[in-house]
Structure 1
Amino acid sequence: MWIITAHSKNNIKMFEFDTKKEAKEAFERIQGYKILTEVIYFNDYCLIES
């Protein structure tokens, strides 16, 4: 999951995306100060050992 946190003078908004591609496309369109974050849960498949 990918999250964009956008800050403006009196507001904070968060947007959630399933893919990095979607998030990066939206990141370019969002105005102001913004942070792009990947959320990885402890039980995600990439962290489970086989």
Structure 2
Amino acid sequence: MWVITVYSKENITMFEFHTENKAREAFESIQGCKILSEIVYFNDHDVA
């Protein structure tokens, strides 16, 4: 899972994406102070 966290003076907003490509597309269009993160769970079967 990929998450974009956007910070502003009043609040924090988070957007979740299933694919890196979709997250990177959205990241380019979002304005403000933002962080793109990949979330990896310990029990994910897709992670080697």
TM-score over 0.5 for the alignment? Answer: yes
Describe the superposition over 1:1-50 as per-residue Cα deviations: whole angstroms up to 9, x where unpaired.
Answer: 00000001111100000000000000001100000000000011214xxx
TM-score of the aligned structures, taking structure 2 as reference length: 0.91
Q: Which residue of 1 aligns with 2:4?
A: 4
Q: Which has the larger radius of gyration?
A: 1
Give % identity.
Answer: 62
Stretches of structure 1 that go unaligned for 5 or more consecutive residues are: none
Structure richer in helix, relative to its length:
1
TM-score of the aligned structures, taking structure 1 as reference length: 0.87
2: CA distance between counterparts of 1:44 and 1:12?
A: 27
Aligned length: 47
RMSD of Structure 2 on Structure 1 (CA): 0.8
2: CA distance between counterparts of 1:28 and 1:8?
A: 17
